[in-house]
């Protein structure tokens, strides 16, 4: 049963009142890597950095937001003003959580020192392999350099740092080594997420037919993380065994691309629903919210997300009874939502 927060969300009109729960500000959509599972180059409309003045104007509209993410469809540490942006977002908004997600390649000693001195209070580092061969086959960057970058950062900083792992066929076997790697790096947490699939090739990279093996590895990793006193979140496979029949994410989250335009959410970041960042209740975004909260999903949702009517359905999908797929909703209860905001799962931590 969906619980409407009457004072904040109007599911019938699509209106949102008050500050967002989660605000994602795409400081840049440029990236220095070309990872095997990434859809940036095929789907994003141009590349660029957000103007610092535009960032400050957007931040001024976000006072009261619970979580502000200074990243989006690119590598935030490429932005020449990322440290000023982080500090401005804190001074202006004082969110409970102020985060970035980085691929860690630019976390040099000088950058680490500047981040340590900033107002950032949570960092996610995307590491999709626990050995050299697996990691480098996915990210194309020296594995040991990433390990050393994070180790140095944690040697000088108390900022909670979560290692984010996007699991797929190519690295499922490597997932077992994650607690040891995180401990070696000195990081604080593990967050395992699954692929955003956007074509047949990435659909085939999913591990949905390896559910038994995944669940066993998940069990072992969760237990070992406890031994290392590492916070561990391993998400179940989206769309298995049930697809989502409703979604409230566009009510809870706002996504600003580097031009200051509003996208539907942190998944469909290639779309522009409103040209003006002030139009959080513009007609297009309200229409989108109304549709997805009632299960009338646009085609973009059906391609990128595990929703009813999914367009990239493979043979394994046909094994799930259609009448069972309506049992799952992308609506997070308040107690679980607070935990997620605290540890930073998939509403906000895009694969970098």
pLDDT at 285 over 50: yes
Residue 236's alpha-carbon distances to 3, 33, 49, 242, in angstroms, are 23, 27, 34, 11
How large is the angle between the packed helices 178-185 and 211-227, nearest 10 degrees? 40
Residue 55's alpha-carbon distances to 27, 28, 170, in angstroms, are 8, 11, 37
Per-residue pLDDT, averaged over 248-258, amounts to: 97
Which range has the worst mean pLDDT, 102-111, 243-252, 277-286?
A: 243-252
Give 328's DSSP letter: E
Per-residue pLDDT, averaged over 81-100, amounts to: 98
pLDDT at 317 over 60: no
pLDDT at 177 over 70: yes
Omega cis (within 30) before 241: yes
Per-residue pLDDT, averaged over 321-348, amounts to: 36
Class of domain 19-343: alpha beta
| Residue 124 three-state SS | strand
Give the dihedral of Cα atoms 6, 326, 246, 301; nearest 10 deg.
Answer: 180
Structure tokens at 320: 């799930």
Q: How confident is the model at residue 201 (pLDDT cuts 50, 70, 90)?
A: confident
Give 119's DSSP letter: S
Residue 347's alpha-carbon distances to 53, 68, 156, 158, in angstroms, are 26, 11, 29, 24
| Residue 15 three-state SS | strand
Mean pLDDT of the chain: 88
- All structural domains of the chain with their residue ranges: 19-343
Under 8 Å between Cβ of 299 and 311 = yes
- Beta bridge pairs of residue 247: 330
Structure tokens at 340: 């997620």
Give 176's DSSP letter: G
Under 8 Å between Cβ of 311 and 302 = yes
pLDDT (tens digit per residue) in 10-69: 999 999 999 999 999 999 999 999 999 988 777 777 899 999 999 999 999 999 999 999
CA distance 288 to 3: 19
First to last CA, the chain: 34
pLDDT (tens digit per residue) in 140-159: 999 999 999 999 999 999 99
CA distance 125 to 107: 10
Under 8 Å between Cβ of 77 and 33 = no
pLDDT of residue 313: 54
Phi first, then psi, for residue 232 (nearest 5°) are -135, 125
Give the dihedral of Cα atoms 143, 147, 148, 150; nearest 10 deg.
Answer: 140
Buried b (16+ CB within 10 A) or exposed e, 274-295: beebeebebebbbebbbbbbee
CA distance 187 to 230: 8
Which range has the worst mean pLDDT, 29-43, 117-131, 249-263?
A: 29-43
pLDDT of residue 173: 97
Instruction: Report how many helices (DSSP H) and strands (DSSP E) the chain contains, helices first.
Output: 13, 13
| Residue 9 three-state SS | strand
């Amino acid at each position: 049963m969906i619980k409407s927060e009457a004072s904040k969300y109007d599911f019938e009109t699509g209106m949102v009142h008050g500050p967002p729960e989660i605000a994602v500000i795409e400081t840049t959509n440029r990236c220095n890597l070309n990872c095997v599972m990434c859809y940036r180059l095929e789907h994003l409309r141009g590349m660029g950095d957000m103007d610092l003045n535009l960032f400050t104007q957007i931040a001024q509209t976000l006072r009261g937001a619970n979580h502000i993410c200074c990243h989006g469809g690119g590598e935030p540490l490429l932005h020449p003003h990322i440290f000023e942006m982080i500090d401005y977002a804190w001074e202006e908004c004082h969110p409970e959580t102020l985060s970035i997600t980085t691929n860690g390649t630019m976390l040099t000693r000088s950058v680490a020192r500047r981040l340590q001195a900033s107002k950032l209070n949570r960092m996610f580092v995307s590491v999709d392999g626990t050995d050299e061969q697996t990691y480098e086959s996915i990210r194309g960057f020296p594995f040991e350099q990433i390990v050393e970058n994070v180790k140095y950062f944690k040697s000088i900083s108390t900022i909670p740092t979560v290692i984010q792992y996007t699991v797929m066929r190519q690295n499922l076997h490597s997932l077992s080594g994650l607690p040891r790697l995180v401990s070696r790096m000195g990081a604080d947490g593990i967050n395992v997420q699954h692929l955003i699939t956007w074509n047949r090739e990435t659909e085939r990279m999913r591990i949905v037919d390896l559910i038994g093996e995944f669940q066993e590895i998940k069990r072992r990793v969760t237990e070992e993380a406890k031994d290392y006193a590492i916070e561990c979140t391993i998400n179940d496979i989206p769309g298995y065994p049930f697809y989502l029949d409703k979604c409230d994410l566009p009510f809870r989250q706002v996504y600003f691309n580097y031009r200051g335009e509003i996208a539907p959410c942190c998944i469909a970041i290639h779309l522009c629903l409103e040209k003006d960042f002030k139009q959080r209740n513009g007609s297009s975004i309200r229409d989108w919210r109304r549709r997805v909260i009632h299960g009338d999903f646009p085609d973009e949702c059906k391609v990128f997300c595990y929703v009813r009517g999914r367009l990239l359905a493979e043979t394994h999908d046909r094994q799930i009874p259609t009448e069972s797929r309506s049992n799952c909703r992308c609506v997070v209860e308040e107690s679980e939502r607070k935990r997620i905001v605290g540890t930073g799962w998939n509403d906000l931590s895009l694969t970098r």
